[in-house]
A and B are shown apart, each in its own frame.
Chain A
């Protein structure tokens, strides 16, 4: 009984925050759909789900996400091997660089791809602008890092001896890969695939900036329905559909992850050192280099575009960021938006760390009995939900539920950071949980038997192991908050826009200067996130960015 209370006490704050700022808004959104005029009317929802356009949107979401997931897996696998098993020069830096796209603001990626594929861009001849190809490319760009990280971390910690045993029994390297390595990697592969699919299917900024109104995924459709068409029942129906699918996917991901974490734990400490590359590794290395080049291309196009004014090199667009826009498009200069972003990200980071730390601590304590284990597993899954639930749903839901008199936070400067912290929360939890779970619980028991209280035991046993991952998670949360767009788009006040919001406004309006400023702002934002991620990468936390 006392243990159950302690468990709840530890989880109380995160649960309360999740309840008020996540469950309540989502429920509010869904409620508007089922109770359009105060009376329960599921007919409206059913009618929405029967619309041909909704079917098209659903099909588009599924096939783009599937293709993008498959492509990310195929491209990520060779890089995972090359960067995690081979002692290549500069591999630490390359691993860091590969992680940058994952935390780049979605709006920035959209802008970069437009710059690459659009009119006047280096790849304009392919005619991909505004086609689903561009959207799939954008999704792959984002998610390759997840595959490289997740599979790479598993690969790195793989016990080399079964493979050596197979080789000694006469298996060729290809046969070793097929019969020993691949089966051992299967949990990591399945985990990466399910998470990437989730990200692709709920991707917002990329689809919105690259697909416009012509191509819509479920997520952007929810946005269009709420903001442009004010068709709340339809938006709620789609949110509900998304929620159901996401919960299903998360369950699958949790199941596969259970396998891979067990593998990592059992074999930690026996992992193979990276080997010197041999000639037969050349294809993987080459593919990695090509992948890196492909990822660099849109960013390169973005940087070049921001520096070209009227066919000459110039910093004019950057200079324009310091002054208010002429047509009153933005209430404040972009430089102020940058400061807003940084300040919001700091707040979101400490919130995500506090909540994520508590959640990770709660779910990794040793359970006594089946019931307790089940409670912890449920909590673990619960805090993964923000990963997949439409940020748009959360953002709009917050807007409509928090005006209920008791809790009017709509004008609070903390609302945006809280929403961003919820988006970053799953990443913090997934970075910390494997580390905390990897600590032998008998260490804590030894400390307790020597007279250390629970807090003291955490300081002695957990903190020395967890401070680096904690720092890494902080950087990660910071970068994600900097780029968060879906929820912020609804919640940021007009006089305090964040960078992604400012960039989206700028590209949404005609004018060469506006577009140029959007490019320059994107470069700055990308640079800020890249610096944070590269700094964090130096901490070498294997679980970061892995699921």
Chain B
């Protein structure tokens, strides 16, 4: 179990991480989510032993790691761009940690084949990294990290360098592979979709500090504040009078603020909130609208794709309680 307590890291006196406490239970997959520059990568690098903390402690199973160098921690770090060893074949890359431990050749080869199969790259053993696509490189990098049988796997934006379609597919694969291998994992990312797809619990960081943490569904349903909600993919946060009006329309208890996803308000034929359409845009699955809601202001809404209203048209909206979060 990894326990990071009150960790602080500074670069030339400028704090990058302050008072961060994070725990990853054995077998758990924790995602650290935050915008770029929030200190999440620094946190990861400190756990890997690549940055020296200026305060706080990092422990594994209760043992302090302050004096343990990177190569003795048993934490495999996978970089955003893979960092494969370009002069070694795919098989040699994957076998790197096994060779360091002088695993006998037969067992090594079997393990490499097994890992390449796990990441879906059978038959790539003899290829050179230079001939691989971005997605393939990340898969090799993952296999190389898993081959080390790390006590903890550290993933630094593992999918960010890939294009959108590939990222989505690989995120699913990654989650399945990590569950299959049962590897304790700490993942940092700025992409909430990636975090949701891969992790089971979440830490949200901002400006070097942890602002919220918990099981992924809890964080998702109850963002700590407006900024967190927006970062988690909520489209708008309404406060005060505007929040009361919208919540009242959905027969929900009043709250000082409410975070809405873009599909929280839906065009209806029945009764609902009156609104004027500002812009309307058709997508394959939904019509997406920006509407002016009396007493609330501009907000988003959706409608069935076949019945796109024109700008200026009056519509009535109903609230979908599963697509919003109440803020305290």
Contact = CB atoms under 8 A, between A and B. Distances in A.
Q: Do A and B bind each other?
A: yes
A449 B48 contact: yes
Nearest to A368: B52
Contact of A448 (B51, B70, B79): B70
B75 A449 contact: yes
B154 A450 contact: no
Contact of B100 (A368, A370, A440, A452): A452
A451 B85 contact: no
A446 B49 CA distance: 12
Interface string A435-462: 0000010110111111111101100110
Contact of A460 (B50, B85, B145): B85
Contacts of B49: 448
Contacts of A369: 11-12
Contacts of A446: 77, 79, 83, 85
B79 A450 contact: no
Given A450-B97, A451-B97, A451-B100, A445 B48 contact: yes
A52 interface: no
B76 A449 contact: yes
Contact of B71 (A442, A452, A464): A452
A442 B145 CA distance: 14
A373 to B, nearest CB: 9
Contacts of B145: 449-450
B148 A450 contact: yes
Contacts of A454: 71
A451 B101 contact: yes
Interface string B223-252: 000000000000000000000000000000
Contacts of B12: 369-370
A450 B50 contact: no
Contacts of A451: 71-72, 74, 97, 100-101, 148
Nearest to B69: A448
A446 B50 CA distance: 10
Given A369-B12, A460-B85, A449 B71 contact: yes
Contacts of B52: 368
B144 interface: yes
A442 B72 CA distance: 17
B7 to A, nearest CB: 16
A446 B79 CA distance: 8
A369 B144 CA distance: 31
Given A368-B52, A464-B87, A445 B97 contact: no
15 contacts: A368-B52, A369-B11, A445-B77, A448-B49, A448-B69, A449-B71, A449-B75, A449-B145, A449-B154, A450-B76, A450-B96, A450-B144, A451-B72, A451-B74, A464-B85
Interface of A: 368-370, 440, 442-443, 445-454, 456-457, 460-461, 464
Interface of B: 11-12, 48-52, 69-77, 79, 83, 85, 87, 96-97, 100-101, 144-145, 148, 154
Closest 6 CB pairs of A and B: A449-B77, A448-B70, A446-B83, A450-B97, A464-B87, A448-B71
Given A445-B48, A446-B83, A448-B69, 8 more contacts: A369-B12, A442-B79, A445-B50, A446-B85, A449-B71, A450-B97, A452-B96, A461-B85
